[in-house]
Amino acid sequence: MRSGARTRTVRVPKAGEMVAAQLRRQIVTGELGEGTALPSESVLMEEFGVSRPTLREAFRVLESEGIIEVRRGARGGAHVMIPDATAIGRHTGTLLQYRGTTLADLYEARSLLEGSSVDLLVRRRTDADLAALDEALRRSETQLTSPVEWVEQHDLAFHRLVMERTGNQTLTALLESLFTVVELHNRSFMLTHPVGEDAQTQVRESHSAHVKLVALIRAGEAERAARHWRRHLELVGDYLIEDPSEVVLDVLS
């Protein structure tokens, strides 16, 4: 080796991580379905040629990822769980707390991602997409006089529907991880603010923004729809974030 040449250290995965990787692959490919009990520890130890501590290390890795649940008792053992965005959201929330991220920062990212979702949906929209959005608006309109119920049952549900209808799984997962925190912020805000005329006005304005968005999507106005949606989210952020220095930690703690 030449004098002064840099050496690169290659990290060899631990045995527990390698076992976890093989089990994870079986889960995400559907080989092991939701609710399926994994084979007993003795069977898995023999299959992978590892010790009990190594196998339990693999279980801890998969539990932390939310894709298995280790139960105790007579019917115990490891059971498969389907990964969901709630688990991603919890990890995202923890990371944002650690970094001291402000709510304004979170809402800015949300606006950028949702705006991209709208642009994509306009370009890919189908009759089925428009029908689903119309139905969501009809359900939403029935509870406009109940601000708390409207927010809990219709507001984020509409946003989720928009992103899901894009058909882009990666974008959907990224947004869902943020929605977990946004949902907690909404609840915190409603608990600390009395429901009055101001809340009623905000709900009606939000519903009108939803109606306008669907009209722009139907018309194929991608740029206008994305711009409208980003502006709507900016106004929502201005309403919900009273202190620009408020951080995610204040909501999740």
**CA distances in angstroms from 62 to 24, 43, 81, 139, listed in the order given:** 7, 18, 10, 39
* CATH fold of 86-252: Four Helix Bundle (Hemerythrin (Met), subunit A) (1.20.120)
Digit-coded pLDDT (tens) for 4-63: 555 566 566 788 999 999 998 888 888 888 888 999 999 999 999 999 999 999 999 998
Q: What does the pLDDT read at residue 4?
A: 54
Q: What does the pLDDT read at residue 9?
A: 62
The helix (run of H) or strand (run of E) holding residue 82 is none
Per the prediction, the chain carries an average pLDDT of 89
Distance CA 140, CA 135 (A): 9
Q: What does the pLDDT read at residue 82?
A: 77
Q: What does the pLDDT read at residue 6?
A: 58
- In the structure, what pLDDT confidence band is assigned to residue 248 with cuts at 50, 70 and 90? confident
Strand partners, 201: none
Number of other residues whose CB lies within 10 A of the CB of residue 208: 11
Q: What does the pLDDT read at residue 66?
A: 81
Q: Is 29 or 90 the better-scoring residue by pLDDT?
A: 29
Under a CB-based contact definition with an 8 Å cutoff, are residues 224 and 109 in contact?
Answer: no
pLDDT at 229 exceeding the cut of 90: yes
Distance CA 89, CA 110 (A): 13
For the domain spanning 15-80, the CATH number is: 1.10.10.10
Q: How far is CA 91 from the centre of its chain?
A: 10
Burial class (CB in 10 A: 0-12, 13-18, 19+), 133: buried
Burial class (CB in 10 A: 0-12, 13-18, 19+), 197: exposed
Q: What does the pLDDT read at residue 45?
A: 94
Q: What does the pLDDT read at residue 199?
A: 86
Under a CB-based contact definition with an 8 Å cutoff, are residues 231 and 111 in contact?
Answer: no
Q: What is the mean pLDDT of residues 196-208?
A: 91
Digit-coded pLDDT (tens) for 138-196: 999 999 989 889 999 999 999 999 999 999 999 998 898 899 889 888 888 888 888 78
pTM: 0.75
Number of other residues whose CB lies within 10 A of the CB of residue 67: 21
For residue 91, give the nearest of 66, 73, 112 by alpha carbon: 66
Q: How many helices (H) and strands (E) does the chain have?
A: 12, 2
- In the structure, what pLDDT confidence band is assigned to residue 136 with cuts at 50, 70 and 90? very high
Strand partners, 12: none
How is the chain split into domains, by residue range? 15-80, 86-252
